[in-house]
Structure 1
Amino acid sequence: MLYHNGPEHNFFITFNPPKIRLFKSIFLIMVYSVNKILAFLFTAGLLLSSVAFAAPKFPFPQQVTYKFGNTATYVDPSVIQSHFDDWKSAWYKDMGDGTARVISPNDSAEMTVSEGVAYGMLIMVYMSSTQADHQSEFDKLYAFWNKYAKSGSESGMNWHVNTQSGKADDGTATDADLDVALALIMAAKQWGNDQYLTKAKKLIDWIKSHDMESDGRVKAGSNWNPGLNSSYVFPAAFQLFYDVTNDSFWKTAISTNLDHMSKCQNATTGLMPDWCSWSDHKATNAGQVSGGSNGYYDDATRTPWRMAWGYYWYGIKEAKAINDKILSWLDQSTFGNANLIWPGYSLTGTSPYNMFVTSTYAGGLGLAMASADNPGYYLETVYDVLANTAGKKSPTSAKGEAYYPATLNILYMLTMSGNLPNFNSMDGLTKYTKTSVRMPSMPEGTLQAVNSGISISGYTEWGAYADKFGVTKMYPDSGSSGIFLNGDGTAVAAIEFRIAPEPTYEAGVELQYPFAGIAVSLDKDNGYHDLSNVTKIRLTYKSQGIIRFAILDKQTIDNGDEGGEPGVYLHPTDDYVTLDIDMTSKNFGTAYDAFVDGKFVVPSWVTNILNRDDAMKAVRGFKFEPKMQKSGYGNIYLRMFELYDADGNLVKDYLDPNAVSIPEIALSGRDFGMAGNAIRYTGLNAGARLTVFDLNGNRIATMTLSGSGEIPLESIVHAKGAYIVRLTDKSFSKTLRIHK
């Protein structure tokens, strides 16, 4: 569902795309007899009775610094714990017969896949703490695994089970088998019981015989090998299997599969397809998997995480090299921030889903930075997304992420934070003291009063603004000028902030969308001016976070799209740079253009796409605002702001005393807008809510409306200035900026 609202029309998409999983073609169905089921239950009972329970030796949180890569020491263990608690209540299901499963509702809530059981076992090992040990849950999940194992206990599990009918598709999925073998080895160390290690070794032998080719290539599963699934290449597991078996085959598996994977990567982006041909290393849909378009989708996106895991644990250089090929494209295309990682890409880096953020991709792709030589602050932005993306509290909840992204969310945070170490080799790992994510502080210099006359390139009418909902933090405070005078007499327009995450849509709940930024008006009365002769804007700036430079034009307001003005996204930079922004027609997008460098685009909810002439014929100013859906730190420091015409001349006659006024607008259907000195509304349901904010983010008036009518501005707004008015009426919402 597309939902937009709030003073700056930030947008939020709630969309949990169905995970189109492995092999949706027809497979052989294995029907278990009653005797077979009883035999498995007996096996499960033996397992539970034979494994002694002991306190975890490596209780969560471990918070150790890995020997290799970049450990995210600012991850809050309480956030991981909260996400785990929600995940366990939604997806872990005790079956009441000594087994438990992880609900994987791709086609029904009664579906269970081996992948989910394997992930659950990993999570139970690493989330076991002195307060809550999860060995019992681990054992029950493993009992379910053995109940549906392909070849009896300690073999791989048939990949798909309809737990309503008790039927299982014949054949394993190798990624799940690898995860369970690793989880068993970790369980042996976590609970000090070598029975787990014995079972792991038997499963490793089975994997070698059934899930791997003799030359070390990883198959899709016991019954098929349609091509290379890069997310099944698990270097950390292969090296661990060598450590516990001393079988050189697993060393070969590392080099062989990473060599094939490298050849499957796109030369420009470094992205790999869900499935890749073993022979020509081109994308193939032989596995009939997610997307169906031979791109980087739900399977492949786990690959950078798998590679980072291998580098964290063992410093596997070939795994790091896989991730390194992705870094340049990733940093450039997402403006250095995981808030702009989209859920799915073509191999050339375009996305059909460039409007929402999910844990599956933000973490999976973002963790390519975990093994980077210089990740900057990128991993912090990955954490911002993961920490502020909640999972469902039950399978039927409308709010929150579903099984697949919610499960990976926990595993990603455990991995990046040093809470998923190799219990088999803890020597040399040191505990760290938790650090903090970046927080804003007051910019340097002396803050100037509003209307002080201090200018940036001749512009004096600057102002900072932010919501006052209680989470967003900004310096200087909302309502100030945002102009700082340095000791050398130079001036800079500046803000630093940490913006709150956008809310998750809930039916019937009035949502408060965070906003912040700094804006400049072309005159003190916020009048509109014809800037048709402006063909270039020159900025000298430095910034962090995702900053959008947007035109405050009249046509957008006339169209009812306040907050959806044409804007350009600025690449973050630690040092001041000078940027020339093309203001000609060729640089204005005709649609939501996926953040093409330097091109003016609008949010996806805007239906009235402006051309250049409409946008520039009446402009009252410009704004710099953060656009980080899942929260984050940012800043903008601006020390030059100049307008140029087609001849390269500096435009100075923008202060036209004949400013264009906002005309009355005609309304039809369910709507509201300005009509002279009144707010006019029409077609509202009973209980519609009108809220008025000042530019400091303070709520100054609230009223309920219904039907049609007018409200004189004087009755709700008593002082001159600019205000934000928001109307919500069931599924309808609209926001205007008004001037008195």
Structure 2
Amino acid sequence: MRRLTVITVAALLAAGCSGQAAAPPPAPKKAAEIGVPFGSHRLPYTQGVLRPKGDADGQVRDFYAKWKAAFVTAKCGSRQVVSPDADHPYVGEAQGYGLVIAATMGDRPLFDDILKYVEAHPSVNNPLLLAAEQDENCKSVNGSDSAADGDLDVAYGLLMAGRQWGGDYRDKAAERIAAIKESEVHPETKLMKLGDWATQDEPLAKVSRTSDWMIGHFRAFEKIDPEWAAIRQAHQKLIASIPGETGLLPDFVKDGKPVKGEVLESEHDGDYNWNALRDPWRIGADAVTSGDPASVAAARKISAWIARTGSPEKIAAGYTLSGEPLEEGPEPAFVAPFAVAALVQPDGQAWLDKLWTYLTSQEFGKKDYFAATVQLQSMIVVSGNHWVP
């Protein structure tokens, strides 16, 4: 329906008094102005953020094309992101990643196909959340409940889609943001729970995964629900409280402290390992877009420490919180997020360029879903193409 332009009495009087015709109403925004085309850098980072040398936009586009060819499948009446190196062929984390990546790249057909898959797999506990795992036939398994990381990215991706293309994506995002707060945020600690299954009587109810501490997502959610400001601040306060010179966070915390021993996945649950490796990317992404002193300080601390290795090839595959290597590296999944943190390191240009050269020289296979997907999203931020809806 075309919106009718209403000329107010005041405007008519002003025109009569001046002897001039009333100014015409501003022209509506063109469709292209609604979105953020990849490579446009329409929403620039805060002042002082570094950039890698070379054609970073082109390198990300090339990496995206390879990633899409390797990990996007067409099954069960839609398309979805396959995760051959995860516990199940299709996981909520992967679909959330896929939505954010597709929205960032301006790939609406892929976005809508993944969203169709997401909406076809609701959690048994809250239908506005995503069942976290599906088998090769796209059937939800292992309880059909949710995992917080996938849900956070689904909601964020929907907000991005609303900015890119209009429509009802933002309304869908608002519904999911409310569901996340209801079912996946601990009412006392204000920290993210592991999923909607972690109810108050569950032993893991107060365990939180640091890779779910997506500060930039929470900041975007505040525009929908101001209560997310307190949730964001609770996570930032805890990030700042983790002791040590490295700035590294553990995979999991409980009662505000790194867990000890195996709590959910391995004996290294209290170390900087395969979950927490995403933290420099998440924290750094907020630092470059918001300039929040807490995020900037946390990212700089991590970057200053890891830069002492001198070479990406010397970055280990996991560390204790004091900085002792867990396994020999390098491993792209661990290297890539450090490049995001380096963006706010004042003297980090040479280090950033080394990291970028390493990342853009890497090849991946069809079983390297996790590393390649973390790397792609980190490269998107480093190239200057991350934005907050």
TM-score, normalised with respect to structure 2? 0.83
Query: Which of 348, 356, 368 matches 1:375?
Result: 348
- Whether 2:61 is the aligned partner of 1:81: answer yes
Unaligned runs of 5+ in 1: 1-53, 129-133, 396-401, 425-740
Amino acid at match of 2:381: T
Cα distance, 1:220 vs structure 2: 1.3
SS class of match (2:207): coil
Which of these residues, 63, 71, 90, is aligned with residue 91 of structure 1?
71
Q: 2:196 aligns with which of 213, 216, 222?
A: 222
Matched residue type, 2:246: T
Query: Which AA in structure 1 matches 2:356?
Result: Y
Unaligned runs of 5+ in 2: 1-30, 199-204
What SS does the aligned partner of 1:349 have? coil
Aligned 8 A contact 2:52 2:356 in 1:
no
| Aligned partners of 2:281 and 2:378 also within 8 Å | yes
What's the % identity of the aligned pairs? 23
Are positions 1:103 and 2:82 aligned together?
yes
> Structure 1 residue 385: deviation in Å?
1.6
What is the alpha-carbon distance in structure 2 between the residues aligned to residue 62 and residue 154 of structure 1?
36
Give the partner amino acid of 2:121.
Answer: Y
1:231: which partner in 2? 211
Could you tell me how far 1:372 is from its partner in structure 2?
2.4
Counterpart residue number, 2:283: 307
CA distance 1:226–1:104, shift in 2 (3 Å): farther
- Check whether the contact 2:90–2:133 (CA below 8 A) recurs between aligned residues: yes
Change in CA separation of 1:107 and 1:220 when aligned onto 2, cut-off 3 Å: closer
SS for the counterpart of 2:80 is strand
Task: Confirm or deny: 8 A CA contact 2:52 2:352 kept in the other structure.
Answer: no
- Is 1:417 paired with 2:380? no
Instruction: Describe the superposition over 1:66-100 as per-residue Cα deviations: whole angstroms up to 9, x where unpaired.
Output: 12552425352222122111111111011151x22
Aligned to 2:22: none
Give how far 1:136 is off. Answer: 1.4
The equivalent residue for 1:273 is: 250
What is the aligned partner in structure 1 of residue 239 from structure 2?
A: 261
1:174 maps onto 2:148 in alignment? yes
> In structure 1, how many angstroms separate the alpha carbons of the residues matched to 2:40 and 2:361?
22
Which of 191, 203, 222 in structure 1 is aligned with 2:165? Answer: 191
The Cα shift of 1:158 comes to 1.5
- The CA deviation at 1:311 is 1.3
Any residues of structure 2 matched to 1:201-220 within 5 Å, and which? 201-215=174-188, 216-220=190-194
The structure number with the bigger radius of gyration is 1
> Quick one: structure 1 residues 351 and 67, their matched pair in 2 at CA, closer, same or farther if it must change by over 3 Å?
same
1:122 corresponds to? 100
3-state DSSP of counterpart to 1:168:
coil
**Distance of 1:306 and 1:107 partners within structure 2:** 21
Give the Cα separation in 2 of the matches to 1:81 and 1:261. Answer: 33
Corresponding residue number in structure 2 for 1:140: 113
CA distance in 1, matches of 2:379, 2:266: 24
Letter in 2 for 1:277: K
In 1, Cα distance between the equivalents of 2:238 and 2:57?
A: 37
2:295 corresponds, among 302, 319, 333, to 319
Equivalent of 1:386, from 359, 373, 380? 359
Distance (Å, rounded) in 2 between the aligned partners of 1:217 and 1:373: 31
**Residues 324-335 of structure 1 aligned to structure 2 (within 5 Å):** 324-332=300-308, 334-335=309-310
Moved over 6 A (4+): none
The residue aligned with 1:250 is 228
Pick from 46, 51, 60 the counterpart of residue 72 of structure 1: 51
Separation of aligned partners in 1, 2:382 and 2:138: 39
Residue 284 of structure 1 corresponds to 260
- How far did 1:226 drift? 4.7
The one of 347, 356, 373 equivalent to 1:407 is: 373
Letter paired with 1:289: E
2: distance between equivalents of 1:263 and 1:277? 13
The amino acid that maps onto 2:175 is K
- Counterpart amino acid of residue 210 in structure 1: S
Separation (CA, whole Å) in 2 of partners of 1:405 and 1:73: 21
The residue that corresponds to 1:627 in the other structure is none
2:65 and 2:115 map into 1 onto residues whose CA distance is 20
Residue 86 of structure 2 corresponds to residue 112 of structure 1:
no
Q: Is the 8 A contact 2:281 2:337 kept in 1?
A: yes
CA RMSD of aligned residues (A): 2.3
CA distance in 2, matches of 1:219, 1:237: 15
Q: Is the 8 A contact 2:148 2:184 kept in 1?
A: yes
SS in 2 for 1:239: helix
Residue 178 of structure 2 aligns to a residue whose secondary structure is helix
Counterpart residue number, 2:9: none
AA of the residue aligned to 1:135 = R
Shift of 1:375: 2.0
Partners of 1:269 and 1:96 in 2: how far apart?
45
Asked whether 1:341 is paired with 2:315, we answer yes
- Give me the whole-angstrom Cα distance separating, in 2, the residues matched to 1:96 and 1:219: 30
Conserved in 2, the CA contact under 8 Å of 1:272 and 1:295? yes
Aligned length: 348
Describe the SS at the equivalent of 1:94.
strand
Q: How far 1:386 sits from its partner (Å)?
A: 1.3
Cα offset, 1:314, TM superposition? 1.4
Hey, which of these two has a bigger chunk of strand by percent? 1
C-alpha contact (below 8 Å) 2:145/2:195 kept by paired residues: yes
- Matched-pair contact (CA < 8 Å) for 1:154–1:199: no
Superposed counterparts of 1:526-537, under 5 Å: none
* Greater fraction helix: 2
Which residue among 146, 150, 153 is the counterpart of 2:123? 150
After TM superposition, the score normalised by the length of structure 1 is: 0.45
SS at match of 1:72: coil
Q: CA 1:149–1:69 in structure 2 vs 1: closer, same or farther (change >3 Å)?
A: farther
Q: Deviations over 1:317-346 (max 9, x none)?
A: 2122222332342222x12x3332221112
**Amino acid across the alignment from 1:338:** P
CA distance in 2, matches of 1:152, 1:100: 24
SS of residue matched to 2:145 = strand
**Pair 1:113–1:165, CA change in 2 (3 A):** closer
Whole-angstrom distance in 1 between the partners of 2:383 and 2:37:
14
Structure 1 contact 72–416 (Cα < 8 Å) conserved: yes
> Is the alpha carbon distance of 1:120 and 1:293 closer, same or farther for their aligned partners in structure 2, counting shifts above 3 Å?
closer
The residue type equivalent to 1:391 in the other structure is F
8 Å contact kept, 2:261–2:267 = no
Q: 1 CA distance for matches of 2:46 and 2:219?
A: 16
1:159 corresponds to 2:132: yes
SS of 1:248 mapped into structure 2: coil
Task: Letter of the 1:267 partner, please give it.
Answer: G
Q: Distance in 2 between matches of 1:96 and 1:148?
A: 11
Q: Which has the higher relative contact order, 1 or 2, with Cα contacts under 8 A spaced 6 or more apart?
A: 2
In structure 2, C-alpha distance between the alignment counterparts of 1:338 and 1:322, rounded to whole Å: 20
- Contact kept, 8 Å, 1:226 with 1:287, in 2: the verdict is no
